[in-house]
Chain A
């Protein structure tokens, strides 16, 4: 996969090849590909001259560094207690219904992935979700439908 090689090389040129560049490089790959593949991790190990296991250990520690293929839009609904009490369950059911996927899955067309996340620090306006890096607070079934529809047309 020459594109991944190029991408990782470019990121390593940009951030440097010291061990502390591992995080920004991983983030850079996720930004571009929505996840870090095994091939990408191997390339990162090669560029930084560290073990592949170290890259894997770091990537799997962070929920936002996905190591499985994800859709173009990754939806993460907060599952922590305040959002839970404010009705995250109904929000999730609505999204599942709209996208015809279950929690944790990706749509056939690779456009959407539905995940949960831990507290996003928006508890005062729960339930809340993230689509890629944009937060959407104070959700209810209508509001979430609107948002998803808009992404569907993108």
Chain B
């Protein structure tokens, strides 16, 4: 039991655990202290000083995010001295800022803007010392970097280092010249960055944003010659509402479909369809690898690792290129969808694939890079024309003038609009594993996974690395070699945890057969394209919404979806078959690590 101490904040007496910061203590009694460089997910930096408070008996103001509360402390958060210091600090930040709120992507969702507006900063208080000629780096398919809007809080640097173990960006130079920089200040596209977008969701301002493609999509929608198809990823439906007037954790699937139809997409389809397809293909790939290893004694790369997270895929390509054979060859659901849109779907609908514009609504920044990978052209065209983030979709809906909150629900179109609960949970860490187990277990044993209500709880939740063991018993005759085998699985989210998993593999010490890895903390629900802010409280609510969506689905297992069965009967013929290899699988490439 941690030691308790007593403090007083703005006249409120409270008892807290020793070691709690003043900021957290204040939060617990609903006293809001403004902050900027502070972020729940990251280590304390204490560099902006926006969070200063007065502590009785101390001459200097104290940065509340960095100072632990001490027994008997009397804290005041809104004295004239505090207010004047904060106003000065915010004014100084504004004085070196490219204050172009009217044309800024983060306007109305910017921490600097809200601070300046709260403290009503006077533009005549300081001269502008904005550095001239700052160019926006638009080299990357995924990330835009505009140093003229950077407040140098270093949240991005801490994110990239602490959560993602990539260190693509750093603090370079010092004093007034200090800036957030890549190696040699190279363009983002030329450095070891995995495009995860976590720096974007952790940036308080418009300095780091995703590269936007939605203007092109508006144009395509307006072009009568084009057939514009959109598919929406599972985690978009549990987060989009946050931008459009709903509380965190609201499921807005039906309203989202209605809105996209009203916006003018010719067909609104579900990425969940290809998530289910991924399970069939990846499940069989896993069984194939296991069969070859255990039955035929072949040398096969195990554990097999999932490949649906393009940030993770680029990470392993840079960091562990010698272990690429562990990656499933399955494309991500987005790319499977794109390949099928301009082949299967075009054929079924009688549409010329050259007229199709295929759009993916994604929680992700890395999906933009993935859509532009040169090998992703198996339909004969660029399979996915644009990957839009949840935020971009939110902006499009706002621009359309729709009264989102009061929209009626509608259902996804067809073909490729049907799916299972197993596909929805792809959006949360552990979901792909759970979905795969629901199918693989049944293929091998003929029975449902032995978990109440199909909820494989050990693989759920926010723990960085999760493990589970499932024993295969009374297997079907075709899989007799698996009788009694304990399948060991692991799930990692956030690339820091991916590194731990990969180091085990590198050292030949990985105890697992099958591993799910997602680049973003929490999985896609915490993706780099999701509404800002994101923190663990928000992640938990989005995850709860994902599992509620799963439970509400009439079909909970990928292999039971009628449209999935049909596409195998009429088009793909069999999992891992010729057509699948052509359209649904891919290969990876070694990239430079340094």
A-B pairs with beta carbons under 8 A, tally = 49
- Does any Cβ of B come within 8 Å of A57's Cβ? yes
- CB A124 to nearest CB in B, in angstroms, measures 25
Give every chain B residue within 8 A of A45 (Cβ-Cβ). Answer: 594
A46 vs B192: C-alpha distance when bound (angstroms): 13
CB distance from A105 to the nearest CB of B (A): 19
- Report yes or no: B594 in contact with A53, Cβ–Cβ below 8 A: no
| CB-based contact A38/B170 at 8 Å | no
Cβ 8 A contact of A53, one of B169, B173, B174, B593: B169
B168 and A51 form a contact (CB under 8 A): yes
Q: Which residue of B lies closest to A42 (CB)?
A: B594
Q: Summarize A's interface: helix, strand, loop or mixed.
A: helix
A13, B339: Cα distance in complex, Å: 51
| CB closest chain-A residue, reference B182 | A53
With A and B bound together, what is the CA distance between A147 and B413 in angstroms?
A: 83
Chain A proximity of B137: nearest CB distance (Å): 14
- The verdict on A57 contacting B184 (CB below 8 Å), with A42-B594, A46-B594, A52-B192 known, is no
- Which chain A positions have C-beta within 8 A of B182? 53
In the complex, whether A56 has a CB less than 8 A from a CB of chain B is yes
Known A51-B192, A61-B174; judge A56-B184 contact (CB<8 A). Answer: yes
Say whether A54 faces chain B, with CB atoms less than 8 Å apart: yes
Query: Is B166 part of the contact surface with A, judged by Cβ < 8 Å?
Result: yes
Say whether A99 faces chain B, with CB atoms less than 8 Å apart.
Answer: no
Contact A56–B172 (Cβ < 8 Å): yes
A54 with B167, Cβ < 8 A, contacts A38-B184, A41-B183 known = yes
Q: Taking the complex as formed, is A50 at the interface, i.e. its CB lies under 8 A from any CB of chain B?
A: yes
Complex: chain B residue closest to A55, CB-CB? B183
Q: Among residues 165 to 199 in chain B, which have CB atoms less than 8 Å away from a CB atom of chain A?
A: 166-174, 181-184, 191-192
The distance in angstroms between the C-alpha atoms of A41 and B172, with both chains bound, is: 14
Interface residues in A124-149 by Cβ distance below 8 A to B read none
Chain B interface size band reads 10 to 19
A56 with B181: CB separation less than 8 A: yes
Please report the total number of A residues contacting B with Cβ < 8 Å.
15
Q: Report B-chain residues with C-beta under 8 Å of the C-beta of A56.
A: 170, 172, 181, 183-184
A54–B169 Cα distance when bound, in Å, is 8
A54-B594 Cα distance, complex, nearest whole Å: 11
Which B residues are in CB contact (< 8 Å) with A61? 171-174
Contact: A57 with B594, CB < 8 Å?
no
- Determine the chain A residues whose CB is within 8 A of the CB of B171 once the complex forms: 57, 61
Partner pick for B166 among A38, A42, A51, A57, CB 8 A cutoff: A51
- Residues 70-119 of A at the B interface (beta carbon under 8 Å): none
**Cβ of A68 to closest chain B Cβ, rounded Å:** 11
Which B-chain residue is minimally distant from A57 (CB atoms)?
B170
Q: Looking at A46, A52, A55, A61, which has the most chain B CB atoms within 10 Å of its CB? A: A52
Q: Which residues does chain B contribute within 8 Å of A52, judged by CB atoms?
A: 183-184, 191-192, 594
- 1/0 per residue, CB under 8 A from B, across A19-55: the answer is 0000000000000000000100110011000111111
Is B172 in contact with A51, judged by CB distance below 8 angstroms? no
User: Across the interface, which residues of A come within 8 angstroms of B170, CB to CB?
Assistant: 51, 53-54, 56-57
What residues of chain A lie closer than 8 Å to B593, measured between beta carbons? 46
Who on chain A is nearest to B165 by CB? A51
Given contacts A38-B184, A52-B594, contact A60 B167 (CB under 8 A): no
User: Once the chains are docked, how many angstroms separate the CA of A72 from the CA of B505?
Assistant: 48
Q: Which of B167, B182, B191 is the most central at the interface, judged by chain A CB atoms within 10 Å of its CB? A: B167
8 closest A-B pairs by beta carbon, nearest first, are A57-B170, A51-B167, A52-B183, A53-B170, A60-B172, A53-B183, A45-B594, A56-B183
20 contacts between A and B (CB under 8 A): A46-B593, A46-B594, A51-B166, A51-B170, A51-B183, A51-B192, A51-B594, A52-B183, A52-B184, A52-B191, A52-B192, A53-B167, A53-B168, A53-B169, A53-B170, A54-B167, A56-B170, A56-B184, A57-B170, A61-B171
Apart from the given pairs A38-B183, A52-B594, A57-B170, 4 other A-B contacts in the complex at a CB distance below 8 Å: A38-B184, A53-B183, A56-B184, A61-B174
Binding site for B on A (CB under 8 A): 38, 41-42, 45-46, 50-57, 60-61
- Where the two chains meet, the residues of B that have a C-beta atom closer than 8 Å to any C-beta of A are 166-174, 181-184, 191-192, 593-594
